Amino acid sequence: MATPMYDFDWKTLHERRQVYKAMGWIMLVVGILSLFVDEARFPMRTTLAVGVTLCLTGLVSLYLGHRLPIIEAREYVFACSQKGRPVTASELCHQMRVSVHTAELILDTLVQKGFIRVAKAVPAAKRAPGSSASEPAYEAIV
């Protein structure tokens, strides 16, 4: 069995995304609830400032939890390209533990941003084990 060229830590990625999502929802709910606090206890300006700040911070955290892991995928593709091996969508799917559709979206985004390109003819020896010859392979633009 072949070992991967770059050991991607998918567990940390998904744990971090789960923490961002959970903290985002908590901050959003607490921020909305703080807007409805009785005005007799706290001044209106304070509750409004705290509520809006928590809501905005919660929204940013939710965004970070739900965004595509473009940066991590770029690092993986560059690490594989330094070893002289292109990356396919199925390989990215297995290494990052994302769906095939998500892996294709990530690779398309990286191509659009100019970080990677579709590799020319790739010999079978350089392909990842289990990837088909008809699947496009991607390499970093160095």
- Give the mean pLDDT of 26-41: 86
Q: Domain 70-140 falls in which CATH fold?
A: Arc Repressor Mutant, subunit A (1.10.10)
Residue 37 vs residue 69, higher pLDDT: 69
- Over residues 39-68, the pLDDT tens digits come to 677 788 888 899 999 999 999 999 999 998
Rounded to whole angstroms, how far apart are CA atoms 118 and 140? 9
What pLDDT does residue 3 have?
A: 47
Q: Is the pLDDT of residue 134 over 80?
A: no
Mean pLDDT, the chain, integer: 84
Cα 108 from Cα 102, distance rounded (Å): 10
Q: Tell me the average pLDDT across 122-140.
A: 68
Nearest alpha carbon to residue 35 among 20, 23, 50, 57 = 50
Asked if 89 and 132 touch (Cβ cutoff 8 Å), the reply is no
Regarding predicted confidence, which is higher, 115 or 83? 115
Helix (H) or strand (E) holding 94: helix 89-96
Delimit the domains of the chain by residue range: 10-66, 70-140
